[in-house]
Structure formats: structure tokens, C-alpha cells
């Protein structure tokens, strides 16, 4: 199954987290808009807007987030924070945040690790086990020709494409991610997932008890408005784990 799980499982998980995703994407749009409020000339903003629309974020929310980023509306200034550590079973974790209060966020993340069998470490303690890559997942359907998809992805600058059980997983260098994402969208492909991720070079498979602890920690971290992404080197898709 792999750490990305099935398409059905991924869509169900996304639906259950939709409200939290609105808040997170609004922050992402605000930060991206600092480099310019016109998505035609700001690839990062364009990608953030398209992801927000894909989960049904209202246009008014998107417009408000852009105006906060450009300074047209008063708003807070967000700072990026990254935490590294281990979850239950020794699973390596990277937690990426956008926050307007570093003390609050640091305290919250440390407390959650302590309460749920984790151990927050020092910068660099696990990042050496990960490589930052663009990851794009497209559902496998009868309408999609695998060779044509691979050709489109590679021509746009992708590094590789892997055929999974019910999907295609395309990986890119972060510098080529926006180009590949846009090229595939413009070619008419529906992207089930499109993110720049920390992809593990070595994966860990904890036992069932530790999997549930890890799932609980990841879920609670993702519910925190300051947490944007949680990356692990767990070989099992945590969305498929039942608490």
C-alpha cells in the first residue's frame, strides 16, 4: 500500500480535515502573496490558490488571504518554524509550521510530542534521512494513458514516475515542482495530491501499538492551526490506521 495509501483513503482523510485545511491554505496563500498578489506572475501563489480551490475554499477567503499578504488588509506576519524528532516506535518526524507566535507554537508542539510517546529533538537530528521533493499523485483511470502521462511529466521537468496500485506518483526536484504541477493541470489531469514533501530515504515500520500512538500524535499535530505539514518515515499510510 505504501505511505500514501489508496486514493479512496486519501480523499476520505482530506474530507475529514477540510476545515483545518482552509486555515492552513489561507496562511500559505498569505505568505505566498508577499511576493506579489497576481498569481499570473507568482507561481507559488498560483499553486497555493489552485490547491485551495481544489478543496472547496470560497473565493472570498482566498481573496482575503491574498490581501493580507500584499498588505491591503491588516494582518499578522507569519514565521516559518521546523521541528524534528521521533514519534512512537522511533519513527522520524519533521513538523513544518507557520506561526505568528513562536513561543506558543514551540510550547504546543513540544507538549504534544511529550504527551503522545514522542521525543522532540534538535535541528538536524532526523532531516538527514529525508530529501525534499515535489510529489504529485494522479488517480489511475481508464482515460489515462500511462506513457502519455509520463511523457508529459518528464517534458515538464519531472524526475520520475512510479505506477502504484491505483495511482501514478510523480516526483520532481523542488525547483521544477511548480512547472510540472502547472503543466499537468493545463494538460487536463486531475491531481489528487500535489505537495513539496520531505521524502524519507529509509522507512520505518512500527508495531500495531506504536502505529496507533503515532497516528494519534500526527492527527493532533495536524489539528493545530500553526502546523502546516507533518512528515514521517513511517512505511504505513497513517490515514489507514484505526485508533
Domains and CATH numbers, the chain: 7-70 (1.10.10.200), 79-127+201-237 (3.30.70.980), 129-200 (3.30.70.980)
- Reduced to 3 states, what is the DSSP secondary structure of residue 217? helix
Residue 11's pLDDT band (cuts 50, 70, 90):
low
Tell me which H or E stretch contains 95.
strand 92-99
Q: How far is CA 123 from CA 22, 59, 81, in A?
A: 29, 38, 11
Question: pLDDT tens across 69-79, in order?
Answer: 998 887 678 89
What span, in angstroms and rounded, lies between the C-alpha atoms of 76 and 48? Answer: 19
Per residue in 92-136, pLDDT (tens digit) is 999 999 999 999 999 999 999 999 999 999 999 999 999 999 999
Bridge-based pairing state of the strands 79-86 and 119-120? antiparallel
Q: Which three cell numbers stand for residue 42?
A: 507568482
| Residue 9 binned pLDDT confidence (cut-offs 50, 70, 90) | low
CA distance linking residue 21 with residue 33, whole number of Å = 18
* DSSP bridge partners of 45: none
Name the least confident of 8-17, 70-79, 110-119, 188-197: 8-17
Above 80 in pLDDT, residue 53? yes
Residue with cell 505506477: 163
Q: If pLDDT is split at 50, 70 and 90, which confidence band does 16 have?
A: low
Query: Which of 11-15, 135-139, 177-181 has the weakest average pLDDT?
Result: 11-15
**Can you give the pTM of this predicted structure?**
0.84
pLDDT at 1 over 50: no
* CA trace torsion 20, 31, 198, 54 (10° rounding): 50
Helical residues (DSSP H) of 139-239, grouped into ranges: 146-156, 174-186, 208-223
Give the three cell numbers for residue 198: 520531505
Is residue 200's pLDDT more than 80?
Answer: yes
Amino acid at each position: 500500500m505504501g505511505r500514501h495509501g489508496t486514493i479512496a483513503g486519501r480523499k476520505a482523510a482530506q474530507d475529514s480535515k477540510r476545515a483545518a485545511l482552509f486555515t492552513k491554505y489561507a496562511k500559505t496563500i498569505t505568505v505566498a502573496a508577499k511576493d506579489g498578489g497576481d498569481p499570473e506572475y507568482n507561481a507559488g501563489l498560483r499553486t497555493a490558490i489552485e490547491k485551495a480551490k481544489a478543496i472547496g475554499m470560497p473565493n472570498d477567503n482566498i481573496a482575503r488571504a491574498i490581501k493580507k499578504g500584499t498588505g491591503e488588509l491588516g494582518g499578522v506576519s507569519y514565521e516559518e518554524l521546523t521541528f524534528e524528532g521521533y514519534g512512537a516506535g522511533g519513527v522520524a518526524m519533521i513538523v513544518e509550521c507557520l506561526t505568528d507566535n513562536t513561543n506558543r507554537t514551540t510550547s504546543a508542539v513540544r507538549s504534544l510530542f511529550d504527551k503522545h510517546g514522542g521525543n522532540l529533538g534538535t535541528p538536524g537530528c532526523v532531516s538527514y534521512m529525508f530529501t525534499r521533493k515535489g510529489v504529485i499523485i494522479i488517480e489511475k483511470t481508464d482515460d489515462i494513458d500511462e506513457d502519455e502521462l509520463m511523457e508529459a511529466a518528464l517534458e515538464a521537468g519531472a524526475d520520475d514516475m512510479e505506477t502504484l496500485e491505483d495511482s501514478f506518483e510523480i516526483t520532481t526536484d523542488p525547483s521544477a515542482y511548480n512547472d510540472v504541477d502547472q503543466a499537468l493541470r493545463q494538460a487536463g489531469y486531475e491531481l489528487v495530491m500535489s505537495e513539496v514533501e520531505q521524502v524519507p530515504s529509509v522507512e520505518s515500520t512500527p508495531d500495531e501499538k506504536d502505529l496507533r500512538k503515532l497516528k494519534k500524535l500526527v492527527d493532533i499535530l495536524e489539528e493545530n492551526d500553526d502546523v502546516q505539514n507533518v512528515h514521517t518515515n513511517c512505511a504505513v499510510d497513517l490515514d489507514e490506521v484505526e485508533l
